[in-house]
Amino acid sequence: MRLFRVAVGSVVAAAIAATACVTEQRDIAAVVDAGPPVSFVDQDASRDAALDAESVAMCPVTTCTFPSATCPSSRFPCDVDLRNDNENCGGCGIRCGGDNINNSKWTCIEGQCVFSCAHGYGNCDDNPTNGCETVLSRDTSNCGSCGRECGENEDCQFGGCIDVCKAQALPDRCPGGCTNLKTDDENCGTCGTVCDKRPGSLPNTYLGCVDGKCDEPKCNPFWGDCNRDREDGCEASLTTNDNCARCGVACTDGNTCGVDKNQILRCICDVGETLCDTLVFNECVRLDDDPLNCGRCGYVCPGSGRPHFVPTCAMGVCDGKCENGYADCDGISETGCETDTRVDNRNCGSCGNACAPNQVCSAGECLVAPCDSEGPLAK
């Protein structure tokens, strides 16, 4: 009987305990649902994982990945880009050959040697051995592009087919070119009829072709009858800012009446520009920031022939800068910007920033990658 009581007591006690556990679990569930999930993970676990990632051993990269390569011509590890190196196009030693004749050239583009022509020239006979034989800027059969023909009364100028006579407001054509038979002293009324030009009796006049007839008074070149008074002849100079090329054409503030590079008299030069008389033609330049006319007309800033050096002009004073990716690490001005800091592992990114021996310098950075059991890994 005792054993039974004990058994019964144990069962009752177990039942009571089970009931208590269920009640306790419900209470815990209610608390959990009321707030954020309970974390049973150590708070420092994520911090330890980050520390483990940061403590991964890193080794210098000494091998190349395409398109970078180390070729016999290399000065530094992986300094050749096989996509655009004319001496190593697509692979070491593959040279983009062919003679660069008649404004042609062979260029490595995306690892392939491509034949191309300089701007304004074309290979219209599809024969690269004679280069780019066609001048597209003035060939009436290939104007602007191969096979584009100009019309009967059109000329090819600057790669475009234009009616030159209409463009110059000259309505007539003679064997010598476009003209106006009403005013042309060499073709007066009809082509080939030449007037005997003689000095006129009025100031700045001579006798020439007017309305297709010779021996009529007219103005000397660059002079005009702007007041419409025949008694004083051609009184106005047409080279002034008040009357530029024609009567009544006034140049705005900042402009100057002058002859442009096409030998046309017109209003030229904007505010801040100066009309300079160069060896070839008059042109408008900015003396404040033009390295070819810095501070005064014709003064060229020095250094234009130095490697990777760009002369500059600011406030009329010459200076200069290196092309992007290059630096003057030897401090000698005559050698220009001789160092390619993008691949030079002795001057990687900047002068004096040396990588480890045989470590790859790419885009101005000494490359590193996680180490493996064998040694450094390629990035």
Per-residue pLDDT of 280-298, as tens digits, reads 566 788 999 999 999 999 9
Q: What pLDDT is stored for residue 8 in this prediction?
A: 32
Query: Which of 69 and 19 is assigned the larger pLDDT?
Result: 69
Distance of alpha carbon 299 from alpha carbon 305, whole angstroms: 16
pLDDT over threshold 90, residue 359: yes
Spatial contact of 117 and 104, defined as CB atoms under 8 Å apart: yes
Q: Which of 26-35, 169-178, 236-245 has the lowest mean pLDDT?
A: 26-35
Q: What pLDDT is stored for residue 54 in this prediction?
A: 61
Query: Which of 356 and 271 is assigned the larger pLDDT?
Result: 356
pLDDT over threshold 50, residue 189: yes
Q: What pLDDT is stored for residue 239 in this prediction?
A: 93
Q: What pLDDT is stored for residue 324 in this prediction?
A: 95
Q: What pLDDT is stored for residue 279 in this prediction?
A: 61
Mean pLDDT of 201-214: 95
| 39 DSSP 8-state letter | P
Spatial contact of 108 and 89, defined as CB atoms under 8 Å apart: yes
pLDDT tier, 163 (very low <50, low <70, confident <90, very high otherwise): confident
Mean pLDDT of 7-12: 34
Q: What pLDDT is stored for residue 26 in this prediction?
A: 34
Distance of alpha carbon 99 from alpha carbon 91, whole angstroms: 21
Q: What pLDDT is stored for residue 378 in this prediction?
A: 41
> What predicted TM-score, i.e. pTM, was given to this entire model?
0.56
Q: What pLDDT is stored for residue 212 in this prediction?
A: 96
N residues, the chain: 379
Q: Which residue has the tokens 């019964």?
A: 8
Q: What pLDDT is stored for residue 1 in this prediction?
A: 30
Q: The tokens of 330 are what? A: 């030897």
Spatial contact of 351 and 345, defined as CB atoms under 8 Å apart: no
Mean pLDDT of 130-134: 90
Is residue 371 helix, strand or coil? coil
pLDDT over threshold 70, residue 98: no
Q: What pLDDT is stored for residue 44 in this prediction?
A: 52
pLDDT tier, 14 (very low <50, low <70, confident <90, very high otherwise): very low
Q: What pLDDT is stored for residue 350 in this prediction?
A: 96
Mean pLDDT of 183-200: 94
Percentage of residues of the chain with pLDDT beyond 90: 59
pLDDT over threshold 60, residue 25: no
Q: Which helix (H) or strand (E) holds 124?
A: none
Q: What pLDDT is stored for residue 262 in this prediction?
A: 67
Q: Which residue has the tokens 């007219």?
A: 218
With vertex at residue 285, the alpha carbon angle to CA 282 and CA 291, rounded to the nearest 5 degrees, is: 120
The average confidence (pLDDT) of the chain is: 82
Query: Which of 182 and 5 is assigned the larger pLDDT?
Result: 182
